[in-house]
Chains A and B, each alone.
Chain A
């Protein structure tokens, strides 16, 4: 379904700050897979998600979705089949627009926008039904602006907006990292439920190893712009935090020993 082929991406190329963010990455995501993505800071997790979403174009390599090459498609065009939830709750909704306006904007994701009225009467009922499943009482606040909501409420709303119009791919970039633990757990539960109910193909970046293990049916680990670990199915089910930590130390150990070799 999504196929990243030998993607390489530099930031600040040809300057002293040059960073090799993605180093010849290849990844095949199958329909219905829920992949959790882990790795240390700057490993390339978010960069690879941004690359799929089209925030920038790769320096090398290509990207296919359902067999169609979309490497050079601008971000807005990819929105037809890709939905995203960002880490910052403020980025997913318009603060000055009402809840129903935000939902109407999301309902037309990837579709043509014309001069029809923006929030339609029949949509309101649908929005209320959708909001009810959040259990936050938002169904009674359709006219409140999104700026009045708390971070958790906004993120839950964004989650709903991203999936209301079923996307082919859902990209979640540490979407609970900015929330307090209780709210984070609620949004994560919501995520799990929506992904399961709609059978969404999902990539979720997280810093929480427990979440990465508990959720999803495949796990990949990034390190220094490369995918160094990729497990799915039963093997993933059996994985523990201890295994992952061991994996981390293994890499760091390798680095240490290679440093030692360099210094020796």
Chain B
């Protein structure tokens, strides 16, 4: 792996890391497996792309994307809490619906973002080359998101979110409407995923309706890799681990793509299989480690 490829993996790891933080919030904190993300990532990209091509400031465009993601998350949570639809199914329904909505937003399956203003411009104007500007911007965004989410989880409201995932009966008895908390939590999660999508679109120079395929799998893989390697003893540590997990995940994918065994080389279409194997390995690693230590 060249250092250029490694830098690319770092860049990807950081920008998708924001999505992974969102996935951690639903999957681990709220205990709400949420597949909406496969739709809210392109939603964020679509909103950002359309806003920027219409002359909106690229930072403001990201804010719109975040808001759109929040609403998408709220829809899933409303389907689950108010209409009593199983969380997985509710999120699949929103995800499917978002496919149509994203095409409506973009008025087509994709929008090109070539030659428009992006959030990387300020750095590039300062003379920083493009391949460094992107990881820097993503790193700052990821850091701000982690600080924000960790701060939130230590507030009165944030503690109610933690408690809802931990023991909903207890927190209901303390006067908290768990439905509202789930709506808020899934909303925030998808807001982050959409933010991640908006940044990806600005980096890739396009938004595409199919760019969200496999987001949840990559997100879960990153979460599990992060937990396994870096631990989840405290809230701050768990979120930093999720981000680092995302970087490790992208590095592994990068390594796998460069792998050549004689005639055989790994194609991008093999990534789903690799991801699945990675998740299985990460899930079984703790028990394997125990067995090895015992013997």
Contacts and interface: CB of A to CB of B under 8 A. Distances in A.
B84 interface: no
Contacts of B157: 113-115
B175 A111 contact: yes
Given A97-B162, A115-B155, A106 B174 contact: yes
A91 B169 contact: yes
A53 B154 CA distance: 29
A184 interface: no
A80 B174 CA distance: 8
Nearest to B158: A118
Contacts of B163: 94, 97, 105
A79 B174 contact: yes
Contact of A91 (B158, B167, B177): B167
A65 to B, nearest CB: 15
Q: Which of A53, A94, A110 has the most CB of B within 10 A?
A: A94
B56 to A, nearest CB: 28
Interface residues of B, number: 22
Indicate the member of B152, B169, B178 with the most A CB atoms within 10 Å. Answer: B169
B167 A93 contact: yes
A45 interface: no
Interface string A101-112: 100111011110
A253 interface: no
A116 interface: yes
A249 interface: no
Interface in B154-171: 154-160, 162-163, 166-167, 169-171
Contacts of B174: 79, 105-106, 108-110
Contacts of A96: 162, 166
A109 B160 CA distance: 11
A113 B160 contact: yes
Contacts of B155: 114-118
B173 interface: yes
Contact of B175 (A101, A109, A117, A119): A109
B176 A76 contact: yes
A130 B163 CA distance: 22
A95 interface: yes
A94 B166 contact: yes
A97 B159 contact: yes
A153 to B, nearest CB: 16
B280 to A, nearest CB: 26
Given A94-B167, A97-B159, A113-B160, A118 B154 contact: yes
B172 interface: yes
Contacts of B167: 90-91, 93-95
B100 to A, nearest CB: 35
A118 B159 contact: yes
Contacts of A76: 172, 175-178
Interface in B176-222: 176-178
A77 B172 CA distance: 9
Nearest to A84: B173
Contacts of A92: 170, 173
Given A75-B172, A76-B175, A109-B174, A97 B166 contact: yes
Given A94-B162, A94-B170, A115 B156 contact: yes
Contacts of A106: 174
A95 to B, nearest CB: 6
B159 A77 contact: no
23 contacts: A77-B177, A79-B172, A80-B175, A83-B173, A86-B169, A91-B170, A93-B167, A93-B170, A94-B166, A94-B170, A97-B162, A97-B163, A101-B159, A101-B162, A106-B174, A108-B156, A108-B174, A113-B160, A113-B176, A114-B156, A114-B157, A115-B156, A117-B154
Given A104-B159, A115-B156, 12 more contacts: A79-B175, A79-B176, A83-B173, A91-B169, A94-B163, A94-B166, A94-B167, A94-B170, A105-B159, A109-B175, A113-B159, A116-B155
